[in-house]
Amino acid sequence: MFRNMARRPIEKTETYLKYGFVITEHKFHYCPKCKSVLNAGPNHTPNYCSRCGQKINFSGVVWTKDRELGFG
């Protein structure tokens, strides 16, 4: 059944304002099925999407550190 197959998350690097003023580059991981953002990190990889229940396979994912680009 395809429904039970683990899928790789969608990786997307985006910037956000940390503390409200530090422009920070962060790699987000999205559910390949419902496209909601997964709360994942090197020490925390959810096995399932908390929204739609899609099984997620994080093996092979390269974790990159947040990069501060400057002040907004």
Contact assessment for residue 52 and residue 31, using Cβ atoms and an 8 Å cutoff: yes
Helices (H), 1-72: none
Which residue, 40 or 54, has its beta carbon nearer to Zn ion? 54
Contact assessment for residue 71 and residue 23, using Cβ atoms and an 8 Å cutoff: yes
CB of 22 to Zn ion, least distance (A): 29
CB of 23 to Zn ion, least distance (A): 28
Q: List the one residue from 9, 29, 40, 54 that touches Zn ion (CB under 5 A).
A: 54
Residue in the structure block whose two tokens are 């304002």: 17
CB of 35 to Zn ion, least distance (A): 7
Give the C-alpha separation, 44 to 39, whole Å.
Answer: 8
- Residues in contact with Zn ion by CB under 5 A are 31, 33-34, 49, 51-52, 54
